[in-house]
Amino acid sequence: MPLQKENILIVDDDVHILELIQRHLKSLNYHTYKAISVKEAVEVLKGKSIDLLITDLNMPGVGGMELIKYTSEHYPQLPKLIVTGYPSLDDAKQAMRSGVVDYLTKPFTKDELKVAVGKSLAGLKKRSAPTKSQPSAVSYGDIIGQSEAIKNVTDIIERVKDNKATVMITGDSGTGKELVARAIHYMGKFASAPFVAVNCGAIPENLLESELFGYVKGAFTGANEDRKGFFQAANKGTIFLDEIGNASMATQLRLLRVLQEKEITRVGSKKTEPIDVRVIAATNFNLKERIEKGSFREDLYYRLTVVEIEVPKLKDRKEDITLLVDKFLQKYGVEYKDRLLTMTPEALNALERYSWPGNIRELENIIQRAVIMCDKQITLHDLPDFLKYTIEFPENNDTLLPLKDIEKQYILKVLAFTENNKSKAAKILQIDRKTLNQKIQ
């Protein structure tokens, strides 16, 4: 008899109880996941589509009631069933207020479990919760947000996830371009196929071709055997070419042939190999400007940009900051403190006020640091000073400064004006980006 579609997560620190409940549920044709702690349960909830949570209350460290509260806010449509050997009237009342459907006292029979599970799942079927293939108001894969800007992104993903059209993802550094690429792959029908991410900016230019397409023995010094490349590894699936703007003209020509002919040629070989792979590229450069300067092929640009997705800056989706903060608090709270942490309204206001030139990556780093530095709740005291209110004093034009200090102040002013876009800043300063990086260091 085939498994039913419902996925049930069982959480209990007693391994024997876990196995007993799992056996009962499997005999009732349910699919099950197990967790021996709240920390493990949260990871399962993040990675799987769960239809019912069954949890014990009394567990070491973070207890089941904390998990109930967490799921009530992060997964409000998820029905919850409590099983416990230590029944308490206060716990029962608190659990029911948090959306718990039923409450079983250990020991219980298989029939009692069957009735309780059926009752809980009956409540799920009455709700009109979004299915996995529909964009949620809060999360889509690992993409978190409910702003109009992020909904526009997930709407496009919905249209491209089940075909192999090439996609170009643009956006500033730290906006989450790889998350978008992974959502395209893992939310669609090719999710079980390989997903291979390649950072074109991290591979030396003279090695990029051999890494992408593979090579044959003797192709160059050190090529002691035949080796497949990233494209062969991604066959039948998706290859994600991050920082595509850093690819050399020679590599761009090879990529163009792959997209046109659906075949690759290893370095040092004349034999072609057919390839079936979806290409997703990403860049934080303005490729049209690079085309005008002759450093990027126009024909490759149009091959890659069948569909373009522009990932918004964090400052353009500030209504998502609270959701992102909750995600990072859960992630690093469990990792570093083994418990769920909160943040004061004053600290959250400071985060919402900031312009975030480093986007989501900068926000995540700040929350990670704050979790380490705080005790039970993140306050303004745990945040960096630059996030807090500052007083702008007028400049004293009578003060004579060394030339290097004046240069430093002006470079910082230009970086602030360009929102930390080094390419734009270098253009304003009329120096190349390498010189700018040296001065910043």
d(CA 325, CA 433): 33
Q: What is the pLDDT of residues 150-188, one digit of tens each?
A: 999 999 999 999 999 999 999 999 999 999 999 999 999
Q: Are residues 174 and 292 in the same domain?
A: yes
Number of structural domains (the chain) is 4
Q: Which range marks the domain in which residue 408 is found?
A: 403-440
Mean pLDDT across the chain:
86
Query: Per-residue pLDDT averaged across 357-378, rounded?
Result: 93
* Residue 398 falls inside a structural domain: no
Q: Are residues 159 and 247 in the same domain?
A: yes
* Residue 1 falls inside a structural domain: no
Give residues with Cβ within 8 angstroms of 6, minimum separation 6: 30, 31, 51, 52, 121, 124
The pLDDT assigned to 273 comes to 92
* Residue 131 falls inside a structural domain: no
Q: Are residues 158 and 109 in the same domain?
A: no
The Cα-based distances of 3 to 30, 51, 97, 355 in angstroms read 6, 14, 32, 49
Q: Are residues 206 and 354 in the same domain?
A: no
Among residues 92, 126, 160, the one where a domain terminates is 126
Q: What is the pLDDT of residues 36-82, one digit of tens each?
A: 888 888 888 887 889 999 998 888 888 888 888 888 767 878 888 88
Q: Are residues 276 and 365 in the same domain?
A: no
Token pair 């085939």 in the structure block, residue:
2
359 touches 172 (CB < 8 A): yes
Among residues 126, 148, 183, the one where a domain terminates is 126
CATH of the domain at 74: 3.40.50.2300
84 touches 56 (CB < 8 A): yes
Q: Are residues 201 and 291 in the same domain?
A: yes
State which H helix or E strand residue 102 sits in: strand 100-105
d(CA 383, CA 371): 10
Q: Are residues 36 and 168 in the same domain?
A: no
Q: Are residues 278 and 147 in the same domain?
A: yes
d(CA 251, CA 300): 11
Residues in the chain: 441
Query: Is residue 127 very low, low, confident or very high in pLDDT (cuts 50, 70, 90)?
Result: very low
Half-sphere exposure of 52 (CA within 13 A, CB side): 28
d(CA 209, CA 267): 7
Q: Are residues 330 and 370 in the same domain?
A: yes
CATH of the domain at 264: 3.40.50.300
Helix (H, G, I), strand (E, B) or coil at 176: coil
Measured between its terminal Cα atoms, the distance across the chain in Å is 65
The pLDDT assigned to 178 comes to 96
d(CA 110, CA 278): 48
pTM for this predicted structure? 0.60
Query: Per-residue pLDDT averaged across 385-397, rounded?
Result: 66
Q: Are residues 63 and 104 in the same domain?
A: yes
Q: What is the pLDDT of residues 305-336, one digit of tens each?
A: 999 999 999 999 999 999 999 999 988 998 88
Q: Are residues 196 and 319 in the same domain?
A: no
The pLDDT assigned to 66 comes to 86
Helix (H, G, I), strand (E, B) or coil at 242: strand
